[in-house]
Amino acid sequence: MSAFLGELIGTAILIIIGGGVVAGVTLNKSKANGGGWVVITLAWGLAVTMGVFAVGNYSGAHLNPAVTFVFALTGDFPWKDVPMYILAQMLGAIIGATIVFFHYLSHFKATADQATKLGVFATIPAIRHTFSNLLSEIIGTFILIFGLLFIGANKFAEGLNPLAVGLLIVAIGMALGGTTGYAINPARDLGPRIAHFILPIPGKGNSDWGYAWIPVVGPLLGGALGGLTYKALFLGEVSVFLWITLAITAIIILLSYSTKDQVEEENQSISA
């Protein structure tokens, strides 16, 4: 199996299980309806574990453009392979989301709420606030990359590494995921969001493209900061990319803070 096909299949598995659990828990008339956040985070962790077990020997199982990007940035992955990996991840995510749609087709028809349908495919913030949402994705992905590098640095049981990575995803979801739905992976959000836009989902509404940049930019920045900071603190390898990334991140965060989008109804009712 080629690395391209490995990334495509692994990411498709990730989305089939991860998107599938969201569909099962949220769509009407599903037997899993109402299962809650714990069920979702556990299944997402297992989704990553299964994806890594499936294709780790063929592609390294990045399954995430932020992982591919940061490994290239830190010199652990060739830049020439980055576009191919990201393309495979995006295609795999779209395919996985499409399979989830057809699997739950009757339940999409039985569900009227447009946000619930979109939530099967893409992340939706609990409180829409650009600064907070972006910061959440940066922090979550920073911890993801830090954790991946911690796990990789321990050779006690390499065969169990996929399980350890899955548990890391569960921990991030339970601890940090309640704000934005913890994309921490541009392909996990953008690929299925494209599928939502394309697929003939009954009464689906819009794909919320105004928010779509946050689960792409946030994970890329957070991942880069996580990898470069790990190298600096634990290996003593301080790269100029660390200072560049810090500067870019600071600028983007400051710009996001200046946006006027604190319009949640809950906040309005409190101030009233």
Residue 183 has pLDDT above 70, yes or no: yes
In a domain, 271, yes or no: no
Residue type, 262: Q
Mean pLDDT of 240-261: 88
Average pLDDT (39-68) is: 96
Nearest partner of 92 among 180, 6, 214, 217, judged by Cα: 6
Residue 167 CA to residue 42 CA, distance in Å, equals 8
Task: Give the Cα separation of 28 and 241 in Å (integer).
Answer: 47
Is residue 60 included in any domain, yes or no?
Answer: yes
Tokens representing 133 are 């949402």
pLDDT, average across residues 208-227: 97
Q: Domain limits at 216? A: 3-260
Residue 246 counted as domain residue = yes
| pLDDT at residue 269 is higher than 50 | no
Q: Which residue has the higher pLDDT, 262 or 106?
A: 106
**Tokens coding 200:** 């003939």
Q: In the prediction, which pLDDT does 258 show?
A: 78
In a domain, 131, yes or no: yes
pLDDT of residue 257: 86
If pLDDT is split at 50, 70 and 90, which confidence band does 172 have?
A: very high
Average pLDDT of the residues in 252-269: 65
Select from 74, 32, 185, 175 the least CA-distant residue to 122.
185
CATH number at residue 130: 1.20.1080.10
Number of separate domains in the chain: 1
Say whether pLDDT at 195 is over 90. yes
Return the amino acid letter for 185. N
- Residue 65 CB contacts under 8 Å (≥ 6 apart), including other chains: 85, 86, 89, 90, 185, 186, 187, 219, 220
What pLDDT does 157 receive?
Answer: 59
pLDDT recorded at residue 87: 98
Is 272 a member of any domain?
no
Residue 207 has pLDDT above 50, yes or no: yes
Where residue 270 falls among pLDDT bands split at 50, 70, 90?
A: very low
Structure tokens at 58: 């063929």
Q: What is the pLDDT of residue 266?
A: 41
Q: Is 110 among the domain residues?
A: yes
Entry pTM? 0.92
In a domain, 265, yes or no: no
Is residue 267 a part of any domain in this protein?
no
pLDDT digits (tens, 9 = 90+) for 96-137: 999 999 999 999 999 999 999 999 999 999 999 999 999 999
Q: What is the mean pLDDT of the chain?
A: 92
Of the pLDDT bands very low, low, confident and very high (cuts 50, 70, 90), residue 54 is very high
